[in-house]
Structure 1
Amino acid sequence: MRPLKLITFLVLFLTLGSAFGQSSSALKKRKDLINKEIEQLKRSRSKIDKSKKLSLNQINLLNTQIRLREEKIRTINTEIKMLDTKIISNTTEVKSLQSNLEKLKAEYAKMVVFAFKNKGAYHKLMFLFAAKDFNQAYMRLKYIQQSGQFRKKKANEIQNTQTNLKKEISVLDLNKKEKSDLLMDQISEKQDLGKDKVQQSKILNSLTKQDKNLQQQLSKKQKEAAALNSAIQAAIRKEILAEQKKAAERERLAAEAKAKANKTKEPVTAINESAKKTSIEAKGSSILASSPADAKLSSSFLGSRGRLQKPAKGIVTQGFGQQKYNNVTVFNPGITIKTEPGATVSAVYGGKVSKVIFLVNSYTVIIRHGEYFSIYSKLKNVSVSAGQEVQARQSLGSVATDQSDGVTEMQFQIWKGGTPVNPSGWIL
């Protein structure tokens, strides 16, 4: 292998090795987290199953467990693909080292044969004295010295190549074993996934047979969601109206200042009427970011999208949007996070508490971030009050536990003005 090609290959190999190490580590961490979440869900489901009472939460937890198993299988598939790439790379390196080793051994064998044929001081002296002149004798002497050094160098190269070859073969064997373990893990997860889906079908059939009970649960869920959604909308509408008044007042003062500067008050009425009309017709989101401070906070909050910490440690059991149960659809304006009993709920970002609502036997905290709102529902207690400034990661309270089935979960929402947005893309 030529020096330039060898250097290029080594650089590429080391780069791939580093990237593989980083990506493999991230995948393993994610897989470990999924395993922990699956075990948590299994414990929670076990408690519910002991009650012998069928509920929608059983379906939600089982659906989440199925989703996590599917994600784990996808993660394993990615790991296997990366290992395949690594194995191919290692196999190529092993073959290259083996080929290089054979060449080095062949070259060394020739040198040994030559040295054997010309061994002894007599042969060396004859080789020197056969020179035509002093310069040639000197060159031959240098050749004798260098050939000995070159043999030693080749012997060291052979030894180093053999050592590297053993290391690469060892790494290759480890990668193959890891791939084998992953394949076994994949088979096991697919079997567990099949069992979960069978159980899911049984629970759905049982709930369908108890249609009246299911409808009652769904009706209760819809009423609670509607009541909470109405209360949140009312609180946000109040904020918008308050900002409209502030914006109108700022317009009035600006108009008065301008009229005073012009020594006339004739334009004031027209400007005020225009400001009033604009404030009434303006969208809530833009009104909420009309002041420089609110505009700055809005921009800062938006800039943190995708980097916000979850409001509580737990597993997302329901996503944003329509959730379908048989023929009934329930809209989830946020995400549902299952937590451990008594888990702490923290603010995802700094802002001002807009309102604290007590509804459906639990608390809801609404925090304003300029034109955005973060909303934390199903809290059993709160440690903040309306009008209070809060910092990111500050405790707001703890999660309530549903006494009917023992499930502890909270709901987290993000609204832009008067419209809920999917929080999944905002949090880590």
Structure 2
Amino acid sequence: MKLHKLLLLLLFVTFASTATAQSSSQLKRKKEALEREIELLQRNLDKAAQSKKLTLSEIRALNTKIRLMQSKISVINSEIKNLDNEIHENTNTVHSLQDQLSRLKKGYAGMIRFAQRNKNAYDKMMFIFAAQDFNQAYKRIKYLQQFGQYRKKQADYIQGTEKNLSYRIVILDKSLKAKSTLLREQESEQNKLAKNKNVQSSVLNKFKKQERQFSQDIVKRKRQQSAIDRQIRNAIQREIALARKQAEEAERLAAARAKADNKPVPVERAKTTSSFLTATPEAAKLSAGFENNRGRLPWPVGQGSITESFGEHTEGQASYNNDGVNILTSDGATVRAVFGGEVLFVTVIQGIYVVAVRHGEYFSIYQNLKSPTVAKGDKVETKQSLGTVATTSDGALLHFEIMRGQTKLNPEAWIAK
């Protein structure tokens, strides 16, 4: 029963260790991803620092970097917590194995003493012949045989327990060393975070002195973005009008054929923007595929960091609305389609290239490209290149939007985490 309980304990600890290892592996991957993102932001900040002029993009990149550094410290804390649990479990297992080993050795010592007292063949024969009847004599013979087998089995148990104990002690030692390393890393990251917060404070003081200039820049960019948004809305409205015309023509032809064949006229579907944009089987399939991949769509760039999120923003006295997300990436990064579809338009507005791709009733918009590699009407696949991101005074910044019909959606809810 004691051995049975020990085996159950070992199985439980092994399972718990496996679960912890999986969790630790996930945390390690998350930490590595954060490190890559922080490194990318730092490269952009180093480049921006070469210019004496402070930009809003630089401020946002610094704020994003600090947020990511805080996330990294949080991940390190989770790793330490996992190790603490692992150390606690392995410590308990080591103590249980030590107790079990002590009991096994004590029992085995008793068997050895018994064997020593009855080691010669004469004593064994006397033990058998002293039986009251044949049945008892047979049982004593079997007892002596089983005693020898049991003693060998106990010796094997002791050897196995010693090996397991040594293994657990090695694992415990590794966990303690890993925790020590993580604690040093945690301290280093906290020092880096403190330095970056000092830089942030200095930058914000500089921003306050130049707030009027930044407000003027925001107004200018709002006008520029309004012109781009107007063109996007017009293009989508034309696409909806064309889809409506095609759907109505298809219904008219279907009704005419039914009348000619003396069949009931098909019931007209409700006329909505969604029904027009998904009127064809191909468009309906694209819409369904896009919608089913919500939260799993690939990023429009291979590597990047969201420095400005979707929705309302306030910078000093100026406020504005971001209809998408701004992704800071590396110079010359390839811009990729997040899903298969058809290029709705490729246009240049005030020197900025914009590419829009239709996915049934959904649209993805990629803004701030140079040298686009697609044209209106092209069929594109998921992750296919649309061009490269342009580098401006704000860095290599891609503005990315997702729309359903004329409704703006938050891209962060659609792309993979």
Conserved 8 A contact 1:55-1:217:
no
Alignment of 1:83-232 (within 5 A): 83-232=83-232
Q: What CA deviation, in whole Å up to 9, does each residue of 1:94-124 have, x standing for no partner? A: 2221221122112112112212222333333
Report deviation, 1:7: 5.0
Q: 1:426 aligns with which of 405, 410, 414?
A: 414
* Structure 2 runs not aligned, ≥5 long: none
User: Whole-Å Cα distance in 1 between the matches of residues 53 and 11 of structure 2?
Assistant: 62
Q: What CA deviation, in whole Å up to 9, does each residue of 1:22-63 have, x standing for no partner? A: 221111011012112212211221121121211111101101
User: Whole-Å Cα distance in 2 between the matches of residues 360 and 300 of structure 1?
Assistant: 34
Corresponding residue for residue 378 of structure 1: 368
Instruction: Report the residue type matching 1:427 in the other structure.
Output: I
Report deviation, 1:92: 2.5
Conserved 8 A contact 1:366-1:373:
yes
Corresponding residue for residue 321 of structure 2: 331
Q: 2:380 aligns with which of 387, 390, 396?
A: 390
1:409 partnered with 2:397? yes
Alignment of 1:21-40 (within 5 A): 21-40=21-40
1:321 partnered with 2:311? yes
Alignment of 1:76-87 (within 5 A): 76-87=76-87
Corresponding residue for residue 399 of structure 1: 389
Q: What CA deviation, in whole Å up to 9, does each residue of 1:284-314 have, x standing for no partner? A: 3342123333222211110111221111122
* Structure 1 runs not aligned, ≥5 long: none
User: Whole-Å Cα distance in 1 between the matches of residues 262 and 132 of structure 2?
Assistant: 113
Corresponding residue for residue 300 of structure 2: 311
Q: Percent identity?
A: 46
User: Whole-Å Cα distance in 1 between the matches of residues 404 and 77 of structure 2?
Assistant: 38
User: Whole-Å Cα distance in 1 between the matches of residues 275 and 93 of structure 2?
Assistant: 61
Compute the RMSD of aligned alpha carbons: 2.4
Conserved 8 A contact 1:363-1:382:
yes
Corresponding residue for residue 361 of structure 1: 351
SS of the residue aligned with 1:337? Answer: strand
Change (3 A) 1:8 1:127: closer
Conserved 8 A contact 1:335-1:412:
yes
* Number of matched pairs: 415
Conserved 8 A contact 1:368-1:374:
yes
Per the normalisation by structure 2, the TM-score is 0.92
SS of the residue aligned with 2:391? Answer: coil
Corresponding residue for residue 14 of structure 1: 14
> Which 10-residue stretch deviates more, 298-307 or 139-148?
139-148
1:288 partnered with 2:277? yes
Conserved 8 A contact 2:215-2:316:
no
Report deviation, 1:3: 5.8
Report deviation, 1:247: 1.9
User: Whole-Å Cα distance in 2 between the matches of residues 338 and 231 of structure 1?
Assistant: 24
Instruction: Report the residue type matching 2:400 in the other structure.
Output: F
> Which 10-residue stretch deviates more, 125-134 or 340-349?
125-134
SS of the residue aligned with 1:408? Answer: strand
Conserved 8 A contact 1:87-1:175:
yes
User: Whole-Å Cα distance in 1 between the matches of residues 122 and 277 of structure 2?
Assistant: 102
Conserved 8 A contact 1:101-1:158:
yes
Instruction: Report the residue type matching 1:210 in the other structure.
Output: Q
Conserved 8 A contact 2:236-2:406:
yes
Report deviation, 1:357: 1.4
